[in-house]
Structure 1
Amino acid sequence: MRRLMNAAALAGLTSICSPAFADDDLSSIRAEIDAMRSEYQSRISDLEARLAEAERRAASAEATANSAQRAVAAAPATVPVPRQTIAAPTPARTGDNAFNPAISVVLNGQYTASSEDPDGVGMPGFSLDEEAGRPERGFNLGESEVVLTANIDPSLYGNLTFALTPEGEAEVEEAYIQTTALGGGVTLRGGRLFSGIGYLNEVHGHNWSFSDQPLPYRAFLGGQYGDDGVQLRWLAPLDQYVEFGAELYKGDSFPAGGAANGGAGAQAVWVRTGGDIGDSSSWLASASYMNADAEDRDIDGALFTGNETLGILSLVYKWAPGGNRRDRNLTLSGEYFFDTMEGDYDAVAVNLDRSGWYAQGVYQFRRRWSAGVRYAAMTPDSVPAALTGSTLDAGGLDPWAVTALLEFDTSEFGRLRAQFTHDETGPIENDEFRLQYTVIYGPHSAHRY
């Protein structure tokens, strides 16, 4: 541009000083000016074209990202994504952090007020594991998590989750490796893990719809069944979503115990299927079965040696207008449990058939605000006369509880929740109120359907 200005100034000055300036020289200067003008115009046109192309690519990338976000947000209203796909390994990274795991932290805290002292309170008719009791009164840190995940190589993915207890102890909640390249819809996972039975068992606490698990999970699975073992999944190559699972565990966790059968004391199988109902709704159904052997399982000083079998039927329905759950969505779910406990309980032979169920719904009525309600009930069995007055003696009671919640999400990474429960799980009615916060920071895997 400076050359153009200098040339123009020189041409003007020359014309003024020398009126008889040769026509051929003027023509040459004009030609040079026209050439420079053409050159710069070409460059400007090229820059404008490159700018337009960059803007087009940016708009396309933004549209793709928005589409992906909408797809994730609308997952409840689409064909349920296989769990091993949703909990996918973290993306490969380059540079200095290529071999460092992704680290995320989940902080939980709550305040609890209850009309009855929770210490020593159980559920008549059922042996409750120590993890399945009521929370302490007052302020409580709750259970927080530190999660480390990474691709190990093209064939394996690793997950390590530490649970930080309110008592300040660190426990290994999950520690497993998972295959990523077996093909044929097959995935193998081994280590310490949550079982895939039921709908809620493998969901981590910070992703529960309510602050606690329903009564059947507390009574039959100690809140949540996790153990050392191996899990095999197969996603069937069908248009309809169908997935099968088979698991073998050590058998150290409730309802098993003592690592019976040479350290293979619990087995489980399950199948689930689901699909769309129009553009706004989807469903998921599953059936699960667990066989657990116990050797001298100790619950509050009472020993049980024998076998428990548990069956679970689950059904989930999700709705979001147009498949977009950002502003409004509804999730309805329910499960039915049936359990058989056979063996020796404190040296007394027992053969008990028990059941339980729950139904719950959570409605996000506007962005960030949700409300929910849950009802759960248990049906115990009568016990031999020798066990009258024991933990397994329900005394004619059928435990039940009803829960309501109101939740405000500061973002997808932060939650504030108020929850009220009225339960008649024992001879004395109890009212419980909880205020809870949950926050997540760091790269955290998406959760299943």
Structure 2
Amino acid sequence: MLRPTLLVAALAAAFPACADADLDALRAELKEMKSSYEARIQSLEKRLQQAEAQPAATPAPADTAPATVAPAPQPETASNHFNPDISLILQGQYANLDDIEHRHITGFFPAGHDHGAERGFSLEHTELVMSASIDPYFSGYMNLALLDAEVSIEEAWFQTTALGNGLTLRGGRFLSGLGYQNTQHPHAWDFADNNLMYRALFGEAYGNDGLQLKWVAPTELFMEFGAEVGRGANFPGTDRNKNGAGSTVLFGHLGGDVGVSHSWRAGLSYLQTRAGDRDSEIDDLNDVAAETLFSGSSKAWIADFVWKWAPNGNATEQNFKFATEYFSRKEDGDLLCVNNTATGGACTDVTDRYKATQSGFYAQGVYQFMPRWRTGYRYDRLDSGSVDFGLNNAFLPVTDYAPTRHSLMLDYSPSEFSRFRLQVSQDKSMESVSENQWFVQYIHSLGSHGAHSF
């Protein structure tokens, strides 16, 4: 309750020129207000005492049906109704490709989880996405990839929302924060297919079951640092029956604005994992398919850079994005070339040391030249690098071929929920093969879908 004397003193200090008569009037008015409030409080206390003194209501007779009374609501610490944001991504295409039985990238072991492209009409993965706040402390996200009889969990994770100090912890299955494109699902790509770099490194993207700790610094310059530990079951690693972590990822990103029209981000990432009998198939020196099993370590560095331009920060009319990533990977261990002499092959079950240092990059630019219309160009180049199969050099090919690819695309988005794309590519990822590829693609998003990252 407000003390009248304090208020009077405050008023006197604020208005030293007030006359004594005015102060007396204020005192009288405050006294009257105090008396009124005290009387009301006493009345309420008297009513409460009378209610408590009344006897309990007489129960109804046994043969009288009791009235239906809804149970009193139980107190909740937080709301957790299942009301997530749900979206469905529909994606398909027509691809005009040469009839090549075993598509591969010359000089590189085939990576797992590489869907590739089918000739003619095809339905790409349909994605079912759900996300919601769990309580004041956590949020959750799930992405299911659906294709005919195949259902795979691309991501399913929880993330903290209240750690504070720029810290977030994520746990479950998630796309790693390394690089730039790795966190993007196929519907968010700027081109109809994946670049050669990610196809060689991971097949599509590097996902993991594990934990991610990320910190964003409280600075004007964007500074993000993260660390991940996980099972390491995906390529270039393999699933191994062991405790502890099978892979480690470290990444850092810096970024900021340049004026009102430009923004940028640069990053560096490191992946370390191990493989146990990683199964791959390549053609041996007799051009016969040979199965190989690799056991050892795989380490990769990735550098990424992104620059965006939008006049006065308004990207609705015009905008441009340049993105590039470079990787260097080293693998060291033992390689078994399984005996395939029965089919005319050269391998004879020899196991020996395998060491390889390989690299590559892509660079792309996408320009929205008017509302709803974009065009883009991407250049891919890989370096098969230094590869030593040990004794298996007598059976497996070693090449210095540099796979390349040029891609040009044009897309039209009638709205933010739909897109149609035309792409033509000259693919030289296989030695002695130059292929002109055509793609016509559609992407439709149904329902509520969160914004994509930078």
Q: Same fold by TM (over 0.5)?
A: yes
Higher RCO (C-alpha 8 Å, min separation 6): 1
Among 353, 362, 367, the residue aligned to 2:371 = 367
Percent of aligned pairs sharing the same letter: 39
Whole-angstrom distance in 2 between the partners of 1:342 and 1:254: 15
Among 82, 85, 103, the residue aligned to 1:99 = 82
Cα deviation, 1:49-74, whole Å, max 9, x if unaligned, reads xxxxxxxxxxxxxxxxxxxxxxxxxx
Residue matched to 1:308? 298
Corresponding residue SS for 2:201 = helix
Corresponding residue SS for 2:444 = strand
Letter in 2 for 1:113: N
Q: Does 1:410 align with 2:414?
A: yes
Where do 5+ consecutive residues of structure 1 fail to align?
Answer: 1-93
Matches within 5 A, 1:210-225: 210-225=191-206
So what's the TM-score if we normalise by structure 2?
Answer: 0.75
Cα deviation, 1:13-54, whole Å, max 9, x if unaligned, reads xxxxxxxxxxxxxxxxxxxxxxxxxxxxxxxxxxxxxxxxxx
So what's the TM-score if we normalise by structure 1?
Answer: 0.75
Residue matched to 1:67? none
User: Is the CA contact 2:355–2:387 (under 8 Å) kept in the aligned structure 1?
Assistant: no
Q: Does 1:446 align with 2:451?
A: yes
Give how far 1:242 is off. 0.1
Residue matched to 1:338? 328
Where do 5+ consecutive residues of structure 2 fail to align?
Answer: 1-77, 282-290, 337-350
Q: Does 1:205 align with 2:186?
A: yes
Residue matched to 1:287? 268
Matches within 5 A, 1:170-249: 170-249=151-230
Moved more, 394-403 or 286-295: 394-403
Cα deviation, 1:389-410, whole Å, max 9, x if unaligned, reads 877x453311111111000001
Moved more, 120-129 or 282-291: 120-129
Whole-angstrom distance in 2 between the partners of 1:390 and 1:174: 40
Q: Does 1:154 align with 2:136?
A: yes
Structure with the largest fraction of helix: 1
Give how far 1:132 is off. 2.4
Matches within 5 A, 1:2-401: 98-117=81-100, 119-132=101-114, 134-165=116-147, 167-259=148-240, 262-300=243-281, 301-346=291-336, 347-380=351-384, 381-384=386-389, 386-388=391-393, 393=397, 395-401=399-405
Whole-angstrom distance in 2 between the partners of 1:390 and 1:249: 35
Letter in 2 for 1:374: R
Whole-angstrom distance in 1 between the partners of 2:241 and 2:180: 26
Cα deviation, 1:383-440, whole Å, max 9, x if unaligned, reads 336444877x453311111111000001110000011111111121122111100010
- Check 1:284–1:390 CA distance in 2 against 1; reply closer, same or farther (3 A cut): farther
Residue matched to 1:89? none
- Check 1:430–1:125 CA distance in 2 against 1; reply closer, same or farther (3 A cut): same
Whole-angstrom distance in 2 between the partners of 1:103 and 1:214: 29
Corresponding residue SS for 2:357 = strand
Letter in 2 for 1:433: W
RMSD (Å), alpha carbons: 1.8
Whole-angstrom distance in 2 between the partners of 1:318 and 1:259: 41
Letter in 2 for 1:155: Y
Give how far 1:259 is off. 3.0
